[in-house]
Amino acid sequence: MKPKTHEEFTQQTFDSFCKKVLKYAARDYNRAMKRQRERETPFSELSAQELKSLAAADEYFKDAHAFDVLGIAVNVSDCNLAEALNALPADRRDIVLMSFFFDMTDREIAERLNMARRTVAHYRTSTLRELKNLLESEE
């Protein structure tokens, strides 16, 4: 074979290979799209009842009780816990809520409320003990 004809043969072989790859890739893609169309139904073709059965409504904070701590609303969704928190003095309730909902340390809470850190720690532990007793008595 001449060098030029060998080069042309290689180009034609590669060209044929590329065309086959593209042909079979297109065939596979069309088959996949056909399977997808057979399995799926567009929303426009669904009845109102079917659409309603697929819908979901968020009910976040629907029955939540809100407590104002540092000007920020803290939502508590458990009714028993909310009632127990309402029974506490406001300053102690705020300390517990800041500790658990805002992840604040005793030092940070003390700085915000202008108290000693040990006082905050004492209020927090005694209030948690009181909350435990209130919640256990409700059960």
Each residue's pLDDT tens digit, 69-128: 888 888 888 888 888 888 889 889 999 999 988 999 999 999 999 999 999 999 999 999
8 and 47 belong to one structural domain: yes
- What's the confidence (pLDDT) of residue 3? 59
**Residue 74: left (phi > 0), alpha (psi -120 to 50), or beta?**
beta
Extract the tokens encoding 92.
């102690």
**Average pLDDT of the chain, as a whole number:** 88
Structural domains of the chain, count: 2
Please tell me whether residues 69 and 131 are part of one structural domain.
yes
46-69 mean pLDDT: 81
**Banded model confidence at residue 22, pLDDT cuts 50, 70, 90:** very high
| pLDDT higher at 122 or 66 | 122
Residue 64 pLDDT level (bands cut at 50, 70, 90): confident
Residue 60 within a domain: no
Domain interval for residue 18: 3-54
Q: Which of 11, 28, 54 is the last residue of a domain?
A: 54
- Residue 107 covered by a domain: yes
Residues 128, 70: one domain?
yes
Three-class secondary structure of residue 64 per DSSP: coil
Is 70 domain-assigned? yes
